[in-house]
Amino acid sequence: MNTNQTTGTECAPWCTNEDARGRTDHTCIGDSSDCIELTAALDYLTLDEDGIESSFCFVTPVREADRRPGVSMTWEVGDHPEFRLRLTPGEARRIAAELVAAADLIEGGG
């Protein structure tokens, strides 16, 4: 386990952020998920001829200084600023379960 040389704070076991060791804000960041390509159909986007715009999502474990660890979901949509959602592990599991249940229902599996 890595220790931050400035604050003496231990890095989370999953931390891969080499910069966390010497910074005073000590943000632990784990490896991000593979890029997840999404299809967004939001009113404020400039949509293509099929009515869709491609966007991307990444999921990353994170623990900022003086905060509990959480799950970060980052969306990048076209030319718009990224949107970052921070979730507790329980919230992430609940959203994941609800997404699976809705997908199963749509595909006739639930």
Q: Parse the chain into domains and list their residue ranges.
A: 17-107
Does residue 89 carry a pLDDT above 90?
yes
Band the pLDDT of 27: cuts 50, 70, 90. Answer: confident
pLDDT of residue 43: 52
Evaluate the CA torsion angle 27, 33, 35, 39 in order and state its sign. negative
pLDDT of residue 100: 93
Q: What percent of the chain has pLDDT over 70?
A: 65
Q: Kindly report, residue by residue over 39-71, the tens digit of the pLDDT.
A: 655 555 556 666 666 678 889 999 887 778 899
Question: Distance (Å, rounded) from C-alpha 106 to C-alpha 30?
Answer: 33
User: Residue 105: in which H helix or E strand, if any?
Assistant: helix 89-106
Evaluate the CA torsion angle 98, 96, 41, 85 in order and state its sign. positive
DSSP 3-state assignment of 93? helix
The alpha carbons of the chain give a radius of gyration, in whole angstroms, of 18
25 within 8 A of 64, measured Cβ to Cβ: yes
